[in-house]
Amino acid sequence: MPVKFEKRLTMKIKGLLTLIFLVSGAAGIITADTALQEEVLTSLIEKISARMESYPELENWKAGLLTTNIEVDKKGNPKKLTKIKMLVTVRGDERTEGILEVLRTIKGKTSDITENYRRKVEKQKAKMKKREAKQAEKENGNSRFEVSLKELLPFSMEKRNKYSFELLEEIEHNEIPVYILKSKAKSPGEKYWEGQYFIHKDTYDLLQVEISPSKNPKYVKEFDIKMDFAVLPDGHFVVKHVKTWINAGMFLKRIRMISKQEYSDYEVLDLP
């Protein structure tokens, strides 16, 4: 073998070995970086979950509630707007909603429908009592669109392995430094909600969520929820604002509605 050719071959082999070494090293770095990211995510989720568990139980309370329901047409233009003011009182599992005022606006004309609305609500309550046993058997006491906060969040030990998580960025939310965490259900289903969560960097309090079902229920085209939370001076974790958008129905009967709920003047009640 000529000397020059042998040298060239030796150099090529050395170059190939160097490339293999560099690629292997880069793969090791990537693997280590991924493992570090997973460790950071796991730690963050555990801290959020621990913070959620640390709040004192809020069983007896009252608050003002303003609900604004806006029915829209296919183009998103408002057709009917209803504003409902009420006083919500909760004692254990019992929730009462004292209706104070209901105003409805159609085509720019506003009317007071408080009494009619109260009668309608009472009729609905009577019907609900008749269906209570069957509903409890089929749906565990909840309607399809009535879900608890615990069902919406993916941070508990029994739920977190059902999701994949991604830490998006660190920004300021209402002048508060936050983490933005994104979740995605590993196996999409109606009971798994996914989206984004704004987490206080210092306290790990949940400040806001923007979520939707990983798989919409039957006859539901769109269902989005945005919620804002706060921690009261006495340490209780509460909902402050809820905004939902739902586009559901079939054939000629379809609901397109924006619903906004604003809670105010929370007061913790003495034990009964």
Please tell me the predicted confidence (pLDDT) of residue 169: 77
Note the pLDDT tens digit of each residue in 210-237: 999 999 998 999 999 999 999 999 999 9
Whether 141 has a pLDDT exceeding 90, the answer reads no
Residue corresponding to tokens 């060239």 = 8
Compute and round to an integer the Cα radius of gyration of the chain.
Answer: 27
Within 8 A by CB and 6+ apart from 166, the residues are 41, 181, 182, 184
pTM of the predicted model, to two decimals? Answer: 0.79
Residues 100 and 85: their CA atoms lie apart, in Å, by 5
**119 or 11, greater pLDDT:** 119
Within 8 A by CB and 6+ apart from 29, the residues are none
Residues 272 and 257: their CA atoms lie apart, in Å, by 38
Which of 25-29, 168-172, 234-238 shows the lowest mean pLDDT across its residues?
25-29
Give the pLDDT mean for 171-180: 86
**CA dist list (Å): 102 to 67, 98, 180, 243:** 9, 11, 37, 19
Whether 18 has a pLDDT exceeding 90, the answer reads no
Note the pLDDT tens digit of each residue in 45-65: 999 999 999 999 999 999 999
**250 or 142, greater pLDDT:** 250
